Chain A
Amino acid sequence: MKGLFIVSGLGILAMLAEIFKFKKLVYPLVLIGLIAAYAVNFTEWNFDWSQGNPYPLFANMIRFDNPALAFSGVILAVAFFWFIFANDYFKNETNITDHFALVLFTLTGALMLTAYQNMVTLFLGIEIMSIPLYVLAASRKNDMSSNEAGFKYLIMGSFATGFLLFGIALVYGATGTFDISLISAKIAAAHGALPIFCYAGILLMLVAMCFKVSAAPFHFWAPDVYQGSPTVITAFMSTIVKTAAFAAFMRLFLFGFGPAHDKWATGLSVIIALSLVISNITAAAQTSVKRMLAYSSISHAAFMLMAILANNGDMSVPPILYYTFAYSIGSITAFAILYAISKSEGHDGFDAFNGLGKRNPLIAACMVIAMLSLAGIPITAGFFAKYYIFTTLMATTYKWLLILAVLTSAVGVYYYFKVIIAMYFKSSAKSEAVAFDSTTTALVVITSLLTLAIGFVPNFIIDMLR
């Protein structure tokens, strides 16, 4: 809770920086603030909500229980890495303070999404997160791609919001409340006897959430937006925003609509299957690494959705938590490298990576780790994430999805390895090393090591919520 306040406060502070002329200080302040938020976050760990209340409960609008704190932790940690990676971006942009503010507001929305307990907070969280993102996506004003990305994101996002709201309204109509725990209780008590429009509402919300996490067939915006947005923002979207969206999705469907599982599971399983197939297969044909990563994020979304599909209540949370973290740090590594490379080579195609194995061996090795992790090869974090999802899903009746997941993973290896092959197998006309500043190098090395470390010793994260 305090973390949320700190982050939103930071956002406002960043805005003020313009006026009070301490622009230079904003960056360090933000980093410190994030660390503080992170630290504060965990002081609330294991807080007993039934007992006395040092914080205002806000009528059960928002509740930073353990899963929420864990996801907040992931978001804050990744945000910290992201800010380090994005330092170059913040140096170059003209409207630094605005950017800072927008990013931090988005972050606020993301944190809300991890902890909401009410449809209002869900809705507001999504919008607080999304609206600044629309702007950020479009933030390169003279770049048509960026404009287009922002615009597409906005239109489709608002359209999806419409469905979300319609769904909320229907559910509200059927249950008479916006509180998700009350909704859950009502659904459970009704034993399927609620009016059908209630389930229609749930499904509409499912669709809207699937849109937010970019699952097929509601994924169309993602590749375009990811590609058009500035790389740094793409990284932000594919890590923090995605994590938050999943936290929200999970909270809503596991803790809210869990009792109506039979109504939405079939639809979700189809969505997962479609996402797996479409994302992996389309990614295989990409020539741009950035766009490939966009498609890959769809396939990762499908994996995380599997845990939700399993509907194991609390047991479904750790897999998603782990997955989001593993995926986020892997993506941060990949995007950080991609950012530097595309800046130096002038494009983000696979050929931009040619010969990197010789030119920047260390960076190339980190990229390999990131790719292996995204592809789900042991002992990287990505493997354990997938494994954990597998075990979760294996207990359900949706085993056929696993087979599909396995088959499409093999396709997935194809496009991740295209990068590796380009780095080590193809030769580049240039032989000098691509310039990487020391912060990026350090970040990339740290995230790579982290990828290996949590892949090898995943205990900490998975046992967090026990």
Chain B
Amino acid sequence: MSDVIIYSVVSLSLIGVLAALILFIIAQKFKVIEDPRIDLVEQALPGANCGGCSMPGCRAFAEELVKADDISHLNCPVASNENMAEIAKILGKEIAEKEPLVAVVKCNGSPEHRPKTNHYDGASECRIASALYTGDTGCPYGCLGLGECERACNFDAIHIDKETGLPVVIDDKCTACNACVIACPRNIIELRKKNKKDRKIFVSCINEEKGGVARKNCKVACIGCGRCVKVCPFEAITLENNLAYIDPFKCRLCRKCAPECPTNAILEINFPPRKEKKEAAETPAGEK
């Protein structure tokens, strides 16, 4: 009876120790040096494996972070600033504070403003339509409304409005991952600084045609008249190729420009209603 106990104990221990020993030797022989920080960084990342950083998954991003000398250009859209700060601490590297951004759609040409000139009947993809011709309206710059951006968004933050046929961004859901910006073949979407209370002022048009042509095809096109440029007290607006652009970092949301625009191409969103001029306060599509 005690035999069994002795045999058991001895053989089992023997096997255990033997296995440990062999393992130990092999581990020494086949050592691979891998940076242990990769694991640490990976744990600090959100682990969503969304590819928003343009790497194949979080681990690859972690490896990249460890490898790179300057990580300020490496950016995980999902991670918060704390996450990134933690990673920077692990790596002992500097990291740029991320300015919160949000996507805005720079086309306001709903069918009432921008009548259809033909009927598109190809595969329902903006990239395919845009590779074919100028589009189903007179404007060769405007949104095609086939929802490439909606499909690109992993966060359910951008949707085509059925009535206007234009995409609308849900500010709270948008992580500024840039996916829709890349997806849009017409470069209509821009990531802009996220202001307090989600306020925004921007020129909702990218048409570079001459004023007359642009206006003919779309009632709310920017015609490049330059009146907004003149009224802006902060020199935030520039005019190039018949198109005005408001620099989000220079703009201080004074709202002087919007009422100046003869075509209502400048949108202001999430502001309290204006008292004096009713016309401009009417919030056009693009608001959620």
- The answer to whether A and B belong to the same complex is no
- Residue numbers of A with Cβ under 8 A of B are none
